Structure 1
Amino acid sequence: MTENASRPRCVRRGAAALAAGTVLLGSLAACDADSVSPPATASSTAPSTTGSPAAAPDPTLRTVSNNGHKLAFHLTPGHLPAIVLDAGGGLDSSYWRDIAPKLAHDTGAEIITYDRAGSGASDEVSGPWKAQDAVSDLEAGLTQLGATHDVILVSHSLAGEIATCFVNKNPHWVTGAVLVDASLPDLYTDAEVARIEAANQEQVDELKKQPSTKQTRQLLAVASDYGDVHRAYHQLSWPTSIPATVIVSAKTPFDTPDDAQLWRDAQAHFAAAAPNRNLVVAQNSSHDIPVDRPDVVITAAEDMAKKLT
């Protein structure tokens, strides 16, 4: 493994003080699909529907403004469906540095990666991290890039919550998804939320004692109101019209066997809930499937793109 490839794992380990990563994985405010405004009209820069995977161009940086802050999006032009890669909590667009070029080369599709608010080259936003805000940021970026239809979401870990909220608001933007060991609503029963809250509190208190950095501030923001937002998130469901491939890691994010099994059960239950979903186990992988088994993610994304073209 190269030095660059190992960097995301180091970032996650630095944040893993939060109770086996459970806050990092799922502390995004649950969204109310009826409380947010309709999507903006697509711009005139919509990607071409033709293209060749023979020579994928280098990505270009596009700075997007939304609600007073700036976000860094990286665009590799190509044909539809566009593939949007969204990393887990505490990570940024560099997490996909090995996967994005491969997908662009193999599929010829438009590839989009981005830094969420508070990560990478994007501005920080003060206050608790709300799902409505994260969805709004992604909408703004995709709108300004002209990618408001025929989108495939590839969402890792916490980004599964963004994806779930996003498709509830914008079902006609998304034609498919690959959910990579994603935080899914099925996990967050009252009992599991209460257990996670109790397990997290000591780690959150410890994090507050550490020097204030961009990363610690962001982790504390996503940890805010964990119980309430996840009980609300548990009520959301994935639209049955949007196909999804669910990739679950062999190890899961949890160290305890009971919690690991609950994670596997939630992934399997989600995958079994509609005929256009399937479950893939990434053997020999930790929660960092894109690092440990990039081939599994690439194959799932490419298979989804083939089905939709």
Structure 2
Amino acid sequence: MALGVAKGLRAINQLIKINDHKMEVLLKGNKGPLVIILTGMGCSFEEWYKVTQTLSKTYRVLTFHRQGLGQSEIGSGIQNTASTVRDLAEILHHLQIDEPFYLMGHSYGGLCVQHFAKVHPEMVAGVILVDSTSVDLKELEKLDLPVLNQDTDEMWIEKSLEYSTRSEQELLEILKPSINEKHCQFPKTIQQKLLDFQVNPLLFKAMASEIKEWTKDAEVIRSLGDFPDVPLIVIGRDKEYSIQSELDNGIPEWELRVFEEKWEELITHQSKLSLQGELVFASDSGHSVFLDRPDLIIECVHKMVRRVDCVPSLQK
């Protein structure tokens, strides 16, 4: 059974009890293959509005807020890629999903996707990694970049933990949450959800744990063996676009170039995880490909579904 609860409905946003916490789950569409999206660190699934809205016309789309994000409660354990894999497996069980699906992950969500695909390869029909964090992320830390390296993981953990002790009102005054011009194209209700998302103290508690754990997570994922031989599309950002976008932030161009060249190398390497891997670079896009080039993400989903032989069985 596949998302039977969503039959005949356009979109459902619901809270599902998973072990000791509730998870905010969004279901869109009621026909076609199932596409599951895992968002990046500190990112709301509402930012994927254009992608999910378009895909839901052809596919069933499932996404969720990890523990502490949005309306999702935070459990008693560590928030890391393993906890995300467990939560997704429980959500699938709760929704009685027993069919292979297409799994897409952005940034940190891509790291979670790589973990899930290795633990549950039989459930994955195909994978799309969108400017995904690499299991070789330590390579970025080795770069000698004086300005960029001022923003350490330890600094972000400390800042996140401090924010996690504040009230929503205090965070409102400290952070002065805002939305960008691309968000302004979304419905007003979505814009408000994006603003509210930014001042949730639990968001920062979850982020602190994810940042603290992600280097260890990468090693765990590497130790799990080979990535499954499934159709794979790896989407990388536009290196030159990203460099130009950051120049106004006081970072030397040579540092940006060294970092972006290493990031591109890691993205390229991800496309070799599967013998069926394909590499695509999103022209005119920074890290937030889902905002800068939603059209490319949608096109890649269509391309992957056409490539997979088991499509008829997915449309039961």
Decide: shared fold, TM above 0.5.
Answer: yes
The code of the aligned residue for 1:76 comes to: K
Structure 1, residues 172-224: CA drift from partner, whole Å, max 9, x if none? 11100111001122443496499979833334334444462222212212122
Aligned-partner Cα distance in 2 for 1:226–1:274: 22
Q: Bigger shift: 292-301 or 181-190? A: 181-190
Alignment pair present for 1:96 and 2:43: no
- The secondary structure found in structure 2 opposite 1:256 is helix
Aligned-partner Cα distance in 1 for 2:144–2:221: 14
The residue that corresponds to 1:185 in the other structure is 135
Instruction: Indicate how the Cα distance of structure 1 residues 161 and 279 shifts in structure 2: closer, same or farther if over 3 A, else same.
Output: same
Matches within 5 A, 1:75-86: 75-86=27-38
Structure 1, residues 29-73: CA drift from partner, whole Å, max 9, x if none? xxxxxxxxxxxxxxxx4258xx9xxxx952112332211111121
Query: TM-score, normalised on structure 2?
Result: 0.72
Aligned-partner Cα distance in 1 for 2:101–2:81: 19
Contact 2:232 2:274 in 1 (8 A): no
Aligned-partner Cα distance in 2 for 1:147–1:209: 39
Aligned-partner Cα distance in 2 for 1:236–1:79: 34
Contact 1:127 1:221 in 2 (8 A): no
Alignment pair present for 1:136 and 2:89: no
Contact 1:92 1:116 in 2 (8 A): no
The residue that corresponds to 1:275 in the other structure is 275
Matches within 5 A, 1:153-302: 153-189=103-139, 192=142, 199-210=152-163, 212=165, 213-236=201-224, 239-251=227-239, 256-302=256-302
The residue that corresponds to 1:46 in the other structure is 2
Instruction: Indicate how the Cα distance of structure 1 residues 283 and 237 shifts in structure 2: closer, same or farther if over 3 A, else same.
Output: farther
Query: TM-score, normalised on structure 1?
Result: 0.73
Instruction: Indicate how the Cα distance of structure 1 residues 125 and 292 shifts in structure 2: closer, same or farther if over 3 A, else same.
Output: same
**In the TM superposition, what is the alpha-carbon distance from 1:135 to its structure 2 partner?**
0.7
The residue that corresponds to 1:87 in the other structure is 39
Aligned-partner Cα distance in 2 for 1:260–1:95: 24
Aligned-partner Cα distance in 2 for 1:237–1:159: 19
- The secondary structure found in structure 2 opposite 1:138 is helix
Q: Which runs of 5+ in 2 are unaligned?
A: 166-200, 247-254, 312-316
Aligned-partner Cα distance in 1 for 2:98–2:223: 26
Identity of matched residues, %: 21
Aligned-residue CA RMSD in angstroms? 2.9
- The secondary structure found in structure 2 opposite 1:305 is helix
Q: Bigger shift: 248-257 or 155-164? A: 248-257
**In the TM superposition, what is the alpha-carbon distance from 1:155 to its structure 2 partner?**
0.8
Higher helix share goes to which structure? 2
Q: Who wins on radius of gyration, i.e. which is larger?
A: 2
**In the TM superposition, what is the alpha-carbon distance from 1:244 to its structure 2 partner?**
0.9
Aligned-partner Cα distance in 2 for 1:68–1:236: 27
**In the TM superposition, what is the alpha-carbon distance from 1:280 to its structure 2 partner?**
0.6
